[in-house]
Structure 1
């Protein structure tokens, strides 16, 4: 979700070559550019469609049944809103990637960057909040003040606090983002006053976008799993499996991207100046950012749809929206059940006849 801190809001052309201020003769990375102009818009479109459907469904269900909301539901709602905010920016980045030219003006450049960065940090911080909430409720159920004060009012205050943190983390990139006329077209990028700000933005993304949430997940879930194992509930195995999936999905989605981003930090620190490294990093960024982007498509599944309560609400909502489709499904299911029953009866009769004979 965070590519544009490095590329689009920073400079989309960084996929393809150094600026003239970096070296006298820029590298010719036309193959990376051609690949990105086809690959990125296609993948952005797929992520946008799938992610928008899943997260919009989460928001609709939670708003529809808001009377049954709790701290977990509020976290789910804000996580889905964060992902939607991020996803809104993808069509603009897809258009930018396809043309390698920003055609929407300076105001939209900052507005799209605002949606992108706020959505990214919001998603990360609300995942952290959900993890912390589960930790206190399960591990410190009887002693924690947090678990005893999980009221709607406290949840709203926590959500406002997380949105404020997300905005503060996003402000530097939003502030520096602007359009600029260059030889290859108009760019939408962060015009940093010096390389210090650029390097700080990379490290900030590594720390807040990867190290912090991964540390919180490993620590909290590392304490939750032994607690679940000690319980006698039959659902504990399913809960442990879900926790391991949450950690694995986050690690697989975001680790490759953050490794590449750290390599870009080293690049701007004076390492990896060869054209071969530059081309390789450009291609690696295109692949790893797409894997990272897919995480917002998986959030509704791993955080919402796996729960029995939420699945029931989703099915109830879909039945209300598409009654004819569900009636058709029920009819087909009934016919299949009748056929199975009929076939079973016939086989039983044949077996009985055979025994008599």
Structure 2
């Protein structure tokens, strides 16, 4: 997904072509300002997202591995969501370097591997969010049937299916992305078929936004009324969390997908062609980097909001960094957890949101 560009309606990772404008029927369009902007803006944001995303998701993985003996389906989904985001952010340093030098210096294998891994991480992250949404829907709407499938074995099998689906969707990027030495060592998605040229745009919009958003809206719209009827001290907090999940997903990914689709339709849009090209490329750049920061929020939205999980995080930090005074915070978390548990025994439902 990084650096999606269209040159003759083609999606590509080619940052050296990012600001090129090909139009033989008119004078060249000066995009030098965009080039200077992207050369500074893209690597800066990519590095920040890499650092924050790596630290947050690594912490989630470490906590869940440490407490693997207490694993349930929710923990398995959280673990795989964190792995997906880690796979996603680990490709960003390559593209940060690429956006600066505007040459791919890591070879053809890494060009294909980085492109495919980037998309695999992106789709698996989205798909695991959908799985967690559907899991919560079944737990709350079909409570009596939930125990039949919410086993560790089912969670592992479901995770394998999601990873295989994500890999399958990303397979064209492994196959068609390659280094083109004739264009200044560019790493670009360059299939011969027109259908495959538009593949990433439509899969990003349909599988990466429309279907996941529809599932979230439908499931959570049925969950919220039931939660509001429960006698739980956590219900308002859970409802706020649900709204935050849906709104955050839409705000972070919708602008980027809309920008990609507008670039696909750019020949049919009114206005000066050069100005339109500048605005669309700037829009893709800004919305893309903004969307990537969502992987930094996933640990906060899905894991760190829970008192039990935060207590585990603080305990792990205390063990790894013993000189940091965290004992008071851990005690507070423990007392809060006990108080919350005593206040409501319908926590099995709400705990699928706040652990």
Normalised TM-score (structure 1): 0.86
Q: 2:99 aligns with which of 97, 100, 106?
A: 97
Using the TM superposition, give the Cα deviation of residue 296 of structure 1 relative to its aligned residue in structure 2, in angstroms. 0.2
CA 1:281 to 1:271, structure 2 compared with 1: closer, same or farther past 3 Å? same
Shift of 1:18: 3.3
CA deviation profile, 1:303-329 (whole Å, cap 9, x unmatched): 0000111111101111111111126x7
Q: How does 1:252-331 map to 2 (within 5 A)?
A: 252-267=251-266, 271=269, 274-326=273-325
Work out which of the two has the higher radius of gyration on C-alpha atoms and give 1 or 2. 1
Distance 1:48 1:153 in 2: 32
Secondary structure of 1:178's counterpart equals strand
Measured after TM superposition, the shift of residue 17 of structure 1 is 2.6
2:14 alignment counterpart? 11
CA distance in 2, matches of 1:182, 1:189: 12
Report matched runs for 1:165-244 at 5 Å: 165-183=165-183, 185-244=184-243
TM-score (norm 2): 0.86
SS in 2 for 1:103: coil
Evaluate the alpha carbon distance shift between residue 270 and residue 106 of structure 1 in structure 2; reply closer, same or farther with a 3 A threshold: farther
Alignment partner, residue 246 of structure 1: 245
Q: Distance in 2 between matches of 1:10 and 1:44?
A: 15
Between the aligned partners of 2:198 and 2:79, the Cα distance in structure 1 is 33
Distance 1:80 1:92 in 2: 20
Question: Within 1, Cα distance between the matches of 2:189 and 2:156?
Answer: 33
Assess, with a 3 A threshold, how the Cα gap between structure 1 residues 215 and 14 changes in structure 2: closer, same or farther.
farther
Stretch deviating more after TM superposition (55-64 or 113-122): 113-122
- In the other structure, the counterpart of 1:153 is 153
Shift of 1:119: 0.5
Aligned Cα root-mean-square deviation (Å) = 2.1
| Aligned mates of 1:18, 1:10 — CA distance in 2 | 16
Corresponding residue to 1:123 among 115, 125, 128: 125
Deviations 1:129-164 (A, max 9, x none): 01110110011112x3x5422111011000000001
Q: How many residues align?
A: 325
Question: Any stretches of 5+ residues in structure 2 without a counterpart?
Answer: 332-355
Cα distance in 2 for partners of 1:304, 1:29 equals 42
The residue matched to 1:189 in structure 2 has which SS?
strand
Equivalent residues of 2:5, 2:18 under 8 A apart = no
The match for 1:63 is 65
> Which residue does the alignment assign to 2:41?
39
- Match of residue 337 from structure 2: none
What is the rounded CA distance, in whole Å, between the counterparts of 1:40 and 1:159 in structure 2?
A: 32
For residues 190 and 153 of structure 1, the distance between their equivalents in structure 2, rounded to whole angstroms, comes to 37
User: How far apart are residue 201 of structure 1 and its match?
Assistant: 2.1
